[in-house]
Amino acid sequence: MRRRTAGLRRPAGLPRFARLRRIGLPYLLLLPALLLELLVHLAPMVIGIVMSFKELTQLYIGNWGAAPWKALGNYRISVDLDAPVGAALLHSFLVTCAFSVLAVGLCWLIGTAAAIFLQENFKGRGLLRAVFLTPYALPIYAAVITWAFLFQRDNGLVNHVLHDQLHLTDGRPFWLLGDNSFVALVVVAVWKTWPFAFLVVMAALQNIPKDLYEAAALDGAGIRQQIRRITLPALRPINQVLVLVLFLWTFNDFNTPYVLFGKAAPEAADLISLHIYQSSFVTWNFGTGSAMSVLLLLFLLLVTAGYLLATSRGRKHADG
């Protein structure tokens, strides 16, 4: 209600023009943001959906309206599990699911633990906080290129430590080829994403009143109980958003595998974004690529809706 008082205080009998301006002003202020979102996000999304029903190959890129309709053909190719395209897509999807669950779980765990350990003030806390945020601040490609160097077979640090110094492996394993690449991918993704969880949880912890802990301690609750009974419940609302955001980011992650492996990711680490990118720009078949993107979007919408429903209901249940 108070929001309008500034305007309403003006003398009555306001000229029509001024009133119009007052009503129109918020929209005018939003206009640039809206136009840009339309141009770069919403319009392309609609076009992407249209494209997924077309046979859009190299020939039609300059004039995509002329591309012939293909109805559900692109979708049929994408989900045909007996054909190589569909089978590869399913494989990539499963790899991405496993990767996301693992990476999100680890990021959340490390981020929350670090934030709780840094909750209380002690010497060196500010420095540690800065150190922990460094991976988040580093440009992704610089960080991932450095990890690619660490994982090099012959001159990387990982094999030097595992093989030369600790003698844990017989030979020097490849980390960026074959099955090991999945491990490398998870390590790099967790390294660069957990600070975001840390940052968010840290901000949320600042809102928990200190006297809660003091009262609990006076009542004889130990640290563990304080964390379980005060900290974690207080983090619930923020966790709901945090886990979802982490999941969507990790699931859509393109940068990490693209920089870590170059254009062709090994099968064990073939994340879905990179997979779609490759099948679009390598074969120049944009129609199939779009159909795959739309399927990905549908999946993410379903997961998001299901997640929000489940967590909100759980929360109400716990509150009531």
Site for other proteins in 249-308 (CB under 8 A): 251-252, 254-255, 258-259, 262, 273, 276-277, 280-281, 286, 289-290, 293-294, 296-297, 300, 304
Taking CB under 8 A as the rule, does residue 18 contact other proteins? no
With CA atoms as reference, report the closest residue to 77 among 98, 56, 100, 63: 56
For other proteins, the binding residues in 43-72 under the rule CB under 8 A are: 43-45, 47-48, 51, 61-64
Q: Is 154 helix (H, G, I), strand (E, B) or coil?
A: coil
Nearest distance, CB of residue 184 and other proteins, angstroms:
12
Radius of gyration of the chain from Cα atoms? 26
Q: Is 114 in the site for other proteins (CB under 8 A)?
A: yes
| CA 15/CA 17 separation, integer angstroms | 5
What tokens appear for 114 in the block?
């670090």
Sorted by sequence, the CB contacts under 8 Å of residue 25 that are 6+ apart come out as none
Q: Write down the least CB distance from residue 313 to other proteins, Å.
A: 20
**Binding flag, residue 145, other proteins (CB under 8 A):** yes
Q: Is 166 in the site for other proteins (CB under 8 A)?
A: no
**In the complex with other proteins, which residue's Cβ is closer, 128 or 310?**
128
**Within 10 Å of residue 44's Cβ, how many Cβ atoms?**
12
- Sole binder of other proteins in the list 66, 149, 209, 229 (CB under 8 A): 149
Footprint of other proteins on 236-255 (CB under 8 A): 238, 245, 248, 251-252, 254-255
Which of 11, 13, 15, 26 binds other proteins (CB under 8 A)? It is 26
Kindly state the number of chain residues that form the binding site for other proteins, as judged by CB under 8 A.
108
Find the angle CA(97)-CA(103)-CA(104) to the nearest 5 degrees.
90
Quick check: 199 binds other proteins (CB under 8 A)? yes
- Convert 51-86 to b/e letters by CB count within 10 Å (16 or more is b): bbbbbbeeebeeeeeebeebeebbbebbbeeeeebb
Please identify which residue in 72, 120, 169, 209 interacts with other proteins, judged by CB under 8 A.
120
Q: Is 153 in the site for other proteins (CB under 8 A)?
A: no
Say which amino acid occupies 23: I
Amino acid in position 289: G
Instruction: Report the interhelical angle of 43-51 vs 286-319 (nearest 10°).
Output: 120
Interface segment toward other proteins; rule CB under 8 A; list 29-37, 69-77, 98-106, 173-181:
29-37
Nearer to other proteins (CB atom), residue 142 or residue 166: 142
What is the distance between the alpha carbons of residues 52 and 70, in angstroms, rounded to a whole number? 9
Min dist. Cβ of residue 185 to other proteins (A) = 15
| Binding of residue 202 to other proteins (CB under 8 A) | yes
